[in-house]
Amino acid sequence: MLNHFRELKDHQLIILDANFILIPSQFGIDYIEGIKAIIPGKLSFIVFSTTIEELISKKQRDKNRIKFQKQLELSLQILKNQQYHEIPLRRKENEKVDTFLLKICQDLTNNDYKVHLATNDKELRSAARQSGINVIYMRQKKKIVSDRYD
């Protein structure tokens, strides 16, 4: 797993959760610029294949929710226009996405990578904080903030 990240050792790794990718289309917030404003240094935005699959699956499940379909399309387009690293890691068949993200963030942190998990999921944020993982999230539906532990 770590071999996917070797070239990014001196970067701040921003791991994007699916709900975070939807922020621009749902709230009109540019999370890329928001993160750049609060996290110093070289940033690398990371999206796992599992996260992309989760969004595509949600799109297929929610075909009748036209507003959501448009938001999702816009968010995926915005993501494609950004420089990000899609890492071809997938969760195990019965593994929850949150568990997968926490495990990877913890492994990277334990190997001296600077990791920030970008999520709006309250339970995931809480679990990440308890594990000492830096968390980036949206506050009051208008700004991007960070809890840093490093």
Assign residue 84 the CATH number of its domain: 3.40.50.1010
User: Given this model, what pLDDT does residue 137 score?
Assistant: 96
Q: Which residues of the chain have pLDDT under 50?
A: none
Residue 125 lies in a domain: yes
Q: What is the pLDDT of residue 100?
A: 93
Determine, yes or no, domain membership for 24.
yes
- Give the global pTM: 0.89
Strands 143-147 and 134-139: antiparallel
Check residue 139 and give its pLDDT.
93
pLDDT at 99: 93
Number of compact structural domains in the chain: 1
Domain span at residue 130 reads 18-147
With respect to residue 11, please indicate whether it lies within any of the assigned structural domains.
no
* pLDDT attached to residue 149: 61
Give the pLDDT score at 135.
Answer: 97
Residue 4 inside a domain? The answer is no
Whether residue 129 is contained in a domain is answered as yes
